[in-house]
Chains A and B, each alone.
Chain A
Amino acid sequence: KQEVTQIPAALSVPEGENLVLNCSFTDSAIYNLQWFRQDPGKGLTSLLLIQSSQREQTSGRLNASLDKSSGRSTLYIAASQPGDSATYLCAVNLGQAGTALIFGKGTTLSVSS
């Protein structure tokens, strides 16, 4: 059974700091991995999607890497801002495109000004 773990559960940093969020999964046979952002009381916003054949994806100050063989992914946020405060969720897609996502519990990030 696939399990997704995110460490740390919560993180507080001052504005401007670079930070890394970690995600691990137990079964390396994934189709893709996706990082989401969730603001309090809101739905999920997709940040980055990495196909199993890819090593990393970048969008602005965000960079996500994938090491499928070791079952790990990291989300790197450069020069953090208070607006980055949210919960970040990692999810894997097993088997093939269109199958349901399996989520971790998330990392709640707080960036202070």
Chain B
Amino acid sequence: EAGVAQSPRYKIIEKRQSVAFWCNPISGHATLYWYQQILGQGPKLLIQFQNNGVVDDSQLPKDRFSAERLKGVDSTLKIQPAKLEDSAVYLCASSSPDRGEYGYTFGSGTRLTVV
């Protein structure tokens, strides 16, 4: 079974620029999550999708961050404009509790550096 795919692996941008990250979850996983992990911290949830609907986006800075999951499969997370404090690893994960699979599978992440 293929894992959670993320791209790009690394991205360096200047502040005020925009950036987008892509995630393809495990096939058939209805639930998709985007987490932000700042250096030295545990991952923090940004947004959770169930199929193509948003379940929880309470911690998403909506003035600059947006995310979509069209067709309930892959997802894109965008930052516009980026700030220095957005430098972090952005992790995508998927799960399938509807199929009795209670674990979470994470992708390798995208490391963003804002200069």
Q: Which residues of A contact B (CB under 8 A)?
A: 4, 32, 34, 36, 41-46, 49, 51, 89, 91, 93, 96-106
* Pair B42/A105 contact, Cβ less than 8 Å: yes
Q: How far is the CA of A32 from the CA of B95 in the complex (A)?
A: 14
Q: Which residues of B contact A (CB under 8 A)?
A: 4, 6, 31, 33, 40-45, 48, 50, 56, 91, 93, 95, 97-98, 102-109, 111
Q: How far is the CA of A50 from the CA of B20 in the complex (A)?
A: 35
Q: List 12 A-B contacts (CB under 8 A).
A: A32-B102, A43-B91, A43-B106, A44-B91, A45-B106, A46-B104, A49-B103, A97-B102, A98-B50, A99-B48, A101-B104, A102-B45
B43 touches which of A42, A44, A46, A98 (Cβ 8 Å): A44
- Is chain B's interface secondary structure helix, strand, loop, or mixed overall? strand
CB-nearest residue of chain A to B4: A43
* Pair A100/B42 contact, Cβ less than 8 Å: no
